[in-house]
Structures are given as C-alpha cells and as structure tokens.
Chains A and B, each alone.
Chain A
Amino acid sequence: MSGVYVVIEDRGGRITRLSWEAVAAANILAAQSGAKANAIVIGAQTDTIAQETATKGVGKVVRIEHPLLAQYTADGFTAALEQFIRAESPDYIVFPHSYQVRDYAPALAARLGRVLIGDVTAIGEGPVFTRSLMQGRLSGQYKSSASGPCFVSVQSGAFRADSAQSAAAEIATFAPTIDAAQIRTKPGEPFRGTTQTVDLGSAPLIVAVGRGIKEADNLPLVQDLASALGAELAASRPICDNGWLPIERQVGSSGQTVAPKLYLAVGISGAIQHLVGMKGSQCIVAINKDAEAPIFEVADYGIVGDLFEVIPALTEAIKTARS
C-alpha cells in the first residue's frame, strides 16, 4: 500500500471539525497496513493550516498550493488533486463529506476512472466501507474492486476526531500546474441569506417539526408545545422549503447544527441530512407514526403514534407538571 491521504478542508483559514473526523477515519484505514494517514491541505496560502494539521497525528502533510486555488472552484481543485494523485499514486483518498467535497470529488474520481464511495459511516477490515441506502433504512457494505486510487468520503459525526496533539509531522509542498483557462466557472463571494435572528445553537431545549405536521395551519399545535416547554422551535428542511417557517429555524446539513439538552422531533422521519444536524443532542425524543422511521435509530425515547393526538396530550401534561 503506497498510502492513505486525507484532504483537509478549511473555511477562511479555520479547519472544519469534519476534517478532523476524516483524519480519524483515514487513520483507521491506514492502520490496517500498520501506517499513518498523510494529510493534504489545498489552497493559495496553506502555511498556517499545514502547521496546525501537522500536529494532529498524521504521517506527513502535503501543501498543494497555487494562486488559482485561492477561492474554491471544482475545476481548480479537481485539476490540482488529479496531478498530485497521478504523481503520488496513493491507494486511498479520504474526504470529509461536505457540500464542497460533494461538488468536486465525484468529478475527480471520474477523471481517474473511479467512483466516490460517499457518505461512509464505518470502515471495517478489508477494508469494507459502510454507507446508508434508501434514506437510512438499509445499510450497504462496499469494497473497492479496482487498484488504487479509491475515493472515500466520511459522514459528519460518524468518526470521533482525536483531539490529542502529536509531534509536528514533516511538511512537503506540491505545486500543481494550473492555467486560468482550465477554470470554467467564476465563483462569487459567499453571502448569508438572511440576518440570523434565532440562535438555535445556544438553545438548551428544542422542539423540531417535520413533514408529519402536514399543513402550515397545524403549526400552532407544535408552537404551543414549544412554549409550554420553554423551547425554541426548529424545523426540518421540507417545512422551510415550503416557507412555513423561516430558514434560520432549519436544522440539518444545510441549516444549523445543534446539540441541546433536549431535542424533541415531531413528525420528522430523520433523513440523514437532518440527523447530522442534531444527533449530538444529549437527549433525543421522537414522535412519529412510522415505527420504522430512521429518527428512531438515534432517539433515546420514542412514541409511535399520531402526532395530532400525542402533541396536545403532551402539551397538557407539561403544563400540569409545570404548574
């Protein structure tokens, strides 16, 4: 095995938590051949993030640096990583399964005649990669059937990041050749949609509502429960897509990530995009009429029943307990 590499992602110079989880996953993979994973940092100026990465238990750090990588573009990142992979022939490349990775990693894999085994939740001996199928109702085990490189991205929250500091690893530089004409898209500056007025991240209690509520007119039912509990109201994506609640109340990969003391999910089936935003909560309660809904996989307590009966009863019981 000529090595496992993990691609580190940063936002404005701050390395994402998910990147450290990817390092942990890459080290599990590398340990199968008694080695350590090597890290790749990529951008126009990677000095600081390379030094930070070097102390996180990796074999070595490679800085892939070019002025045209200052802002993320799928074409720029694909071209740079392709050149590195062709030069280095690694066996495995591990990515954090972020929106950015979803944007370019499948193209990178296709360019090298491979596929991306995406959103992996576990790595077993072999190696065997586990990922969800059918919205989390089944789980599939995949094996690479070609010689390297094999491309794998890991799901947020699936691997525990190791916070221990190690002695600084060696840092090397790789300078790709990129021509401005290769970058076909022109990215604009990122911007926020609305000014955030609700900070769900600091709310100790959250009541979240999903598609099971059926109509906007039924929302007061859940609002009453939230106010009886003294909780913030949150929602899954379909509710915000329909404009029933503002987008700043959305929990999940495209919304906010929360970890309150109590997360009470009402009529939320638990699509993985939602689960990654709340599964770190201390206590999760799910109320859903479908006993097979994936939300019950992460719940501490569950009530299988019709929310239109359970919620009013629960609101009453909480009011009584509070008075």
Chain B
Amino acid sequence: MAELMGVPHASLILHVEKTDRGLTVKRELEEGWFQNIDLPLPAVLMIQSGGTKLRYATLMGIKKAKTKELRKVSADQLGVAATPTALLEKITLPQKQKSTQIIPGSAKEAAASLVEKLKFEVRVL
C-alpha cells in the first residue's frame, strides 16, 4: 500500500514516537532482536501485536455505532480496474504433516496412557 501511495513504510512496529522530522518507530526483528527506525511523514505503519493494549467497545459505543453513517465506495467510483496477477484456484483441507495419535478416554485415563507413551515410546521419563 505504501508503495502504491509513494510513501515510506515500516512493519512489525511495537512503539511509535513523534519526532521533529517525523517518527521514530521500534521494529521487531527475528529471534528477540529489535531496531529503531526514523522515517518522515506521511508513512504507512504495520503494527505488531503486543505493542498496544486493545480497546474494547463500551455498550454505549456499540449502540452508537449503529447510528453512524456507512459509506460504500466501489472500485468503479475510484476508477480502478486492476486485473489480478495471482489467482486462488482451489481451496482444500490442509494435508496432515504427521499422523497424530489421539489419546482417548477421560482426563485421568488419557493422562495415564500419555505417561505410558512418554515412558516407553518417547523415553523421556
């Protein structure tokens, strides 16, 4: 989206701070690493989970939402007629990567059978 709008972007953001020249954002990298990035505004930011607390709607807010105006915009109105460059041809159930042995019984029975498996098959007990 940033590319189509011609503005910079940053992804996996945990923290956003306003600076004189734009923003400083804290980005998550892999394996527990982080990085700060400065970028000018306007910009598109993709927020990672955990950085902010969710705000849940109040009962009043839910009631009020029903009276808000909804505006629909079609692709025609925007003058967009993009042809897709990738097509979803088929949807299937995922192929099992392993044959999972489901252990039946009550909680107590299942726990007992699992301990047997951990002891004699996985050999970790």
Contact = CB atoms under 8 A, between A and B. Distances in A.
A143 B86 contact: yes
A11 B88 CA distance: 34
Interface in B84-123: 84-98, 100-103, 107-108, 110-112, 114-115, 117-119, 122
A158 to B, nearest CB: 10
B119 A141 contact: no
B110 A185 contact: no
A136 B37 contact: no
A306 B101 CA distance: 18
A137 B94 CA distance: 7
A305 to B, nearest CB: 6
A297 B94 contact: yes
A146 interface: yes
Given A190-B33, A205-B124, A254 B28 contact: yes
Contact of A187 (B3, B28, B35): B35
Interface residues of B, number: 57
A185 B37 contact: yes
B86 A140 contact: no
A98 interface: yes
Nearest to A301: B101
B94 to A, nearest CB: 4
A128 B88 CA distance: 10
The 6 closest A-B pairs by CB, nearest first: A241-B50, A309-B107, A313-B111, A188-B36, A146-B85, A184-B8
Interface in B1-50: 2-4, 8-12, 28-40, 48-50
B21 to A, nearest CB: 9
SS class of chain A's interface: helix, strand, loop or mixed? mixed
Contact of A141 (B4, B88, B115): B88
Contact of B37 (A188, A196, A240, A254): A188
Given A187-B37, A189-B35, A301-B114, A75 B86 contact: no
B49 A255 contact: no
25 contacts: A99-B30, A139-B91, A140-B90, A141-B89, A142-B87, A145-B87, A146-B86, A184-B40, A185-B39, A192-B34, A193-B34, A237-B50, A238-B49, A254-B32, A254-B48, A291-B102, A297-B96, A297-B97, A300-B98, A302-B101, A302-B103, A310-B107, A314-B111, A317-B108, A317-B111
A14 interface: no
Given A309-B107, A318-B115, A107 B9 contact: yes
Contact of A191 (B35, B97, B118, B124): B35
A160 interface: no
